[in-house]
Amino acid sequence: MAVKVVMPKLGMAMKEGEVSVWNKQVGDAVEKGESIASINSEKIEMEIEAPENGTLLDIIVKEGEGVPPGTAICYIGEEGEALQESENEKPEKEEQSPPQKTENKITRGIKQAAKSRVKISPVARKIAEKAGIPIETLEGTGPGGRIVKEDVLTALSAASEQKPDEDAHEEKEQKQTMTPMRKVIAERMHASLQNSAQLTITMKADVTDLLSLQKQLASAAKERFGTKLTITHFVSRAAVLALQQHPHLNSAYQDERIITYSHVHLGMAVSLDRGLVVPVIRHAEKLSLIELAKQVSESAEKARQGNMASDNLQGSTFSITNLGAYGIEHFTPILNPPETGILGIGASYDTPVYKEEELVRSTILPLSLTFDHRICDGAPAAAFLKTVKEYLEEPAGLIL
């Protein structure tokens, strides 16, 4: 009897999932545990694996189509097996003749094996296949050499520049349907700006001593806890400690009331190929520096792999975002509703600084704090940022 494969529920808040790309087509043989499709919800993308050995008998949900959790997306069974009417959610397909396999099975198997060896994101694969670009010719710039969306777009741009001159003046447009994740990001960011009074202030911290401490702790942290301590971890710890001293930044504006939290659920923004997610470190105020560092790193890795449940992407009381890796110093982070504050970390740089009468080389870390002026005035927000700066400049307090 055919096995029904359904859209999984990726967390309690998930309302709809979308099939990003089918890795198999009707009539293809599949093995148990083999990836047959990629799906994405509002904040997560993951692979769907075949529950049994068999043949892909029917595809119910097309690429780009969204359906509620529990909806059948395909059926797997024995080759030539007929689906019962109760199994087939598209009765009009019953009168159609079985798909004709015109391609040599060996040739198709070779092609599929070649594709499976190439590390490529589902979105990048879909764009490449639609554009007719062999993925084997692409060079990946993602983690571990993975081919991401930007690599395919770069290849498309390079190909268009090599076309004959008669096409040079031809205007072209590329239209893409927004993914559920992109829609949510767009809606939340627009609502954030529309429904709050956002103001950004900046400050610079001298992290020369902090970098020295980081080097001293690096080998021990890696050996004992398997964690590489980064500037982001230290800033996160400083922010958590500062929030306990300035709880007005650890609050939310809801129904004309200000809710101040005693706990710190720290949101850490993570950039993905397809958008942005914010994993939440719950009760960060109870964690030591190394415990916080481990959870931040593990959450970021799960988010990048698409293994983060949607329930772990909600409920933050304060967020941190880092654009330092891109060379950005100061910027304007957008609040993650309904939070009152979000701290941005910029790119550190070396500069000469006077310490008393002596000119010394110091490392400066730019910080950008966006806060909701309806809840917090400029002076209290500046006091919070000043406390973060003090912790970073006197880093012993971060490990005590």
Tens-place pLDDT, residues 159-187? 766 655 545 555 667 777 677 677 778 88
Q: List, for residues 21-68, the tens digit of each pLDDT value.
A: 898 999 999 999 888 988 877 667 778 889 999 999 999 998 888 888
Contact 301, 333 (CB under 8 A): no
> Is the model's pLDDT at 93 over the cut of 60?
no
| CA angle in degrees (0–180, nearest 5) for 80-81-87 | 140
**249, containing H or E segment:** none
Q: Find the range with the poorest average confidence among 32-36, 175-179, 320-324, 385-389.
A: 175-179
pTM flag (> 0.75) = no
> What is the per-residue pLDDT for 148?
78
CA atoms within 13 A on the CB side of 330: 11
Domain boundaries in the chain?
Answer: 3-103, 118-164, 198-399
> What is the per-residue pLDDT for 94?
38
pLDDT band at 120 (very low <50, low <70, confident <90, very high): confident
What is the average per-residue pLDDT within 350-362?
A: 92
Give the C-alpha separation, 242 to 165, whole Å.
Answer: 60
Give the C-alpha separation, 15 to 20, whole Å.
Answer: 16
List, edge to edge, every strand of the sheet that includes 35-40: 45-49, 35-40, 17-22, 66-67
Give the C-alpha separation, 173 to 177, whole Å.
Answer: 13
Q: What is 3-103's CATH number, 3.30.9.90, 3.40.50.1000, 2.40.50.100, 2.60.200.20?
A: 2.40.50.100
Phi, psi of 147 (to 5 degrees): -80, 125
Residue 207 CA, chain-centre distance (Å), reads 28
> Is the model's pLDDT at 199 over the cut of 90?
yes
Give the C-alpha separation, 40 to 46, whole Å.
Answer: 6
Whether cis (ω within 30° of 0) applies to the bond prior to 338 is yes
Give the C-alpha separation, 126 to 132, whole Å.
Answer: 10
CA atoms within 13 A on the CB side of 331: 18
Residue in this structure with the two tokens 């879909």, named with its chain if needed? 126
Q: List, for residues 362-379, the tens digit of each pLDDT value.
A: 999 999 999 999 999 999
Give the C-alpha separation, 69 to 284, whole Å.
Answer: 32
What is the average per-residue pLDDT within 220-248?
A: 95
Instruction: Please tell me which residue in 190, 311, 350, 373 is annotated as part of the active site.
Output: 373
Q: At what angle do helices 149-161 and 122-131 cross, to 10 degrees?
A: 20
**42, containing H or E segment:** none
| Best CA proximity match to 347, nearest among 196, 232, 191 | 232
Q: Is 373 a catalytic residue?
A: yes
Q: Is 377 a catalytic residue?
A: yes
The architecture of the domain spanning 118-164 is Irregular (4.10)
Relative to beta strand 72-77, strand 66-67 is unpaired
CATH code of 198-399, in short, is 3.30.559.10
Give the C-alpha separation, 148 to 274, whole Å.
Answer: 9
